[in-house]
Each structure stands twice: as C-alpha cells, then as structure tokens.
Amino acid sequence: MARGSGGWFFVAKGKLTFNENLCKGCGLCVAACPKKILELDKTRLNAKGYHPATCVNPDECIGCAFCATQCPDVVITVERI
Ligand code: SF4
Ligand code: SF4
C-alpha cells in the first residue's frame, strides 16, 4: 500500500521469472520497462554465450508485463502479486 494525494491505494506489484538460457541479450525488454529496472548482466554469460537480462530492483516492478510482451524468446514470465 502507498499513500497518494487521494489517500491510500494499492500499488500493483509483479514477480519476474527469467528462463535465462533462452535469452539472446537483445535488450528489447530493457527498453520496454517503464520503471527502468531491467539490465543486461555484463558480468555473466548464459548457455548461449549472451549477457542475460536481469532485474536490478525487483521491488520496483509493477507487473505491467511490457517486458514479457516484447521478448521474442519468451524468456520472461510476470506474475501479479
Ligand atoms: S513487468 Fe513492467 S515494471 Fe516489471 S520488469 Fe517488466 S516491464 Fe518492468
Ligand atoms: S527481450 Fe528477451 S531475449 Fe531480449 S534481452 Fe530481454 S529477455 Fe533477453
């Protein structure tokens, strides 16, 4: 819950799951996220040899699923919580 000018309201939240080894590091999800919480992890390589997408601030996710919709390889699953 959060407090806004109109009183208390519920903030939508999302939980992300990455099927990381399918990621090809294209960055479409990074560009699509309105909260700017997705990045390509430059410190790791997945099984395909790409830097996989990762969420750097899961608490900020609003569960909009724009990232999952953009991903051509169905890497990301978003659950509303
Ligand atoms: S569900 Fe929305 S807010 Fe959460 S990571 Fe994906 S695009 Fe960003
Ligand atoms: S859109 Fe999909 S394939 Fe592209 S970086 Fe994001 S998770 Fe990886």
Confidence at residue 1, expressed as pLDDT on a 0 to 100 scale: 54
Domains of the chain: 12-80 (3.30.70.20)
Q: Are 15 and 61 in contact (CB under 8 A)?
A: yes
- In this predicted structure, what is the pLDDT of residue 7? 74
Per-residue pLDDT of the chain (81 residues; tens, 9 = 90+): 566 666 776 778 999 999 999 999 999 999 999 999 999 999 999 999 999 999 999 999 999 999 999 999 999 999 999
Residue 63 CA to ligand 2 center (angstroms) comes to 17
Query: CB–CB of 56/38 below 8 Å?
Result: yes
Which of 70, 73, 74 best tests ligand 2's pocket when mutated (most atoms within 8 Å of CB)?
73
User: CA 48, CA 71: separation in Å to the nearest integer?
Assistant: 16
Determine whether the shortest distance from the Cβ of 63 to ligand 1 is under 6 A: yes
